[in-house]
Amino acid sequence: MGRLVLLPNLLDDAADVALHLPAATGQIVASLQGLIAESEKAARRYLRRFLTHDQMTALPLQTLNEHSRPDEVGLLLEPILRGQTWGLISDAGLPCIADPGSDLVSKAQKQGIVVQTLAGPSSILMALQLSGFTGQHFAFHGYLPREAPLLEKKILELEKRSRVDSAAQIGIEAPYRSAKLLETLKASLQPSTRLCIAVQLTSPYERCVSLSVAEWKKFSFPLEKEPAVFLIQSF
Amino acid sequence: MGRLVLLPNLLDDAADVALHLPAATGQIVASLQGLIAESEKAARRYLRRFLTHDQMTALPLQTLNEHSRPDEVGLLLEPILRGQTWGLISDAGLPCIADPGSDLVSKAQKQGIVVQTLAGPSSILMALQLSGFTGQHFAFHGYLPREAPLLEKKILELEKRSRVDSAAQIGIEAPYRSAKLLETLKASLQPSTRLCIAVQLTSPYERCVSLSVAEWKKFSFPLEKEPAVFLIQSF
């Protein structure tokens, strides 16, 4: 029986591999018999860091993303069931965390395949560490709703939940909607609630600002079309 | 102005550094002018991996844990305000995540100190990856209550919340109480609810079992006094 290895990817292409990936990553990648990736493009960028052109060309590649059908997910395990070791990566960060992969892991386990994971960067945990908010309890909500009334309702719900559970509440947004979400958060939250925005983590443009909403309203924060993590803590 | 660097620690002393810490960790540790640690014992174990005896002896060490008073936390920043670069580690895993550190980070930011974090192992995210449960939404609740009636109430609340939010619910327990918590979970949850236990992650004794509660009841799982992460997913 083969193995499925969950491999970390960088959060940003310009990030320093030595700061954000385990030392053994290259050696493990070189030992794989195939790679399952969220996209071919990201897979090639990833492999190029660790393999020669010939090694890359020889490595079988499969994709697994939100378009994959359940029966296709099962087929990805065939070579592993025959004894091969394959890797799984997502386009950025950790597979299965706010990214595809959990169906594959679940199916692998049901068939007795050993699943192994390596440490790596998660924008969710990095943002939580840098926020200064409590990390004793927290909740991650993925993408927040897009329609204005639903979004405002959700924001108030997260603010309340943060207070009741003493837990940081974390969400993400597509880069082109980050600035809009920041405005809605500032307009919807109580002045005393703390709001943190972690932008382009691990890139040369990384910023993390953690202020009360009252302070945010007096603060100018240029936010272009950049990937951002939003955190709320209310008391 | 100096810097505060949040450094990852291994989850288990027997874990392979090359699989779980970034390649640059040793180089960064060697460049520090001081280290803030959850305990002196863990700090020395950590430093021994990267420094010579003389380097270790020369490095100032401070502790930050649940016994630290707020005014002591502020004093820890003094050398950084004078221009030094200090590291922060917890006894295992990532500082500030289910571990001390967030007060220090919050105070550092308010004084304009740059805070930097390196990727590293988190038992919470590793357990979630290995569970096969959704990582699109999840909540971490820290230690669950110890008193039987409160614990049962909390378990039912997490089961309901997992269903309503479509989110995995994650908790931890002290090693000597893991077996007891597993029994209570099996007795309290619905048969169709999925329960995952990830034990001694990254150690040679790592196990991760993900089954429905009905399946758990027919399954023998020896669980000694071992650190464990518990995950619930209901539908």
Mean pLDDT (10-residue bins), chain B, 235 residues = 96 95 97 98 96 96 94 95 98 97 96 96 98 97 94 97 97 94 97 98 96 96 95 96
Asked whether residue B112 falls in the same domain as residue B144, the answer is no
User: Domain count of chain B?
Assistant: 2
Chain A residues whose CB is inside 8 A of the B96 CB are 128-129, 135
* Residue where a domain terminates, one of A92, A117, A142: A117
Across the interface, of A16, A22, A122, the residue whose CB is closest to B125 is A122
Distance from CA of A6 to the nearest CA of B (A): 8
Angle at A187 between CA A186 and CA A190, to 5 degrees: 75
Q: How many CB pairs under 8 A join A and B?
A: 155
Distance from CA of B54 to the nearest CA of A (A): 25
Residue A209 has pLDDT above 90, yes or no: yes
Mean pLDDT for A155-164 is 97
Domain around B111:
3-117
- C-alpha B176/C-alpha B226 separation (Å) is 7
- C-alpha B115/C-alpha B119 separation (Å) is 14
Q: What is the ipTM of this complex?
A: 0.97
Q: Of A152, A75, A87, A58, whose CA–CA distance to A111 is shortest?
A: A75
Across the interface, of A95, A134, A139, the residue whose CB is closest to B129 is A95
CATH number of the domain to which B59 belongs = 3.40.1010.10
Taking each continuous run of H as one helix and of E as one strand, the counts in chain A are: 11, 10
Average pLDDT of chain A, as a whole number: 96
Q: Which residues contact A67 (CB under 8 A, 6 or more apart)?
A: none
* Residue where a domain terminates, one of B117, B148, B173: B117
* Amino acid B1: pLDDT: 80
- In whole angstroms, how far apart are CA B212 and each of A154, A195, B53, B163? 31, 38, 50, 14
Pairing of strands A194-199, A228-233: antiparallel
- Do B132 and A103 make contact, defined as CB atoms within 8 angstroms? yes
Asked whether residue A127 falls in the same domain as residue A216, the answer is yes
Q: Is A4:A104 a contact under the CB 8 Å cutoff?
A: yes
Nearest CA in chain B to A6: B129
* Amino acid A1: pLDDT: 80
Residue A225 has pLDDT above 90, yes or no: yes
* Amino acid B177: pLDDT: 94
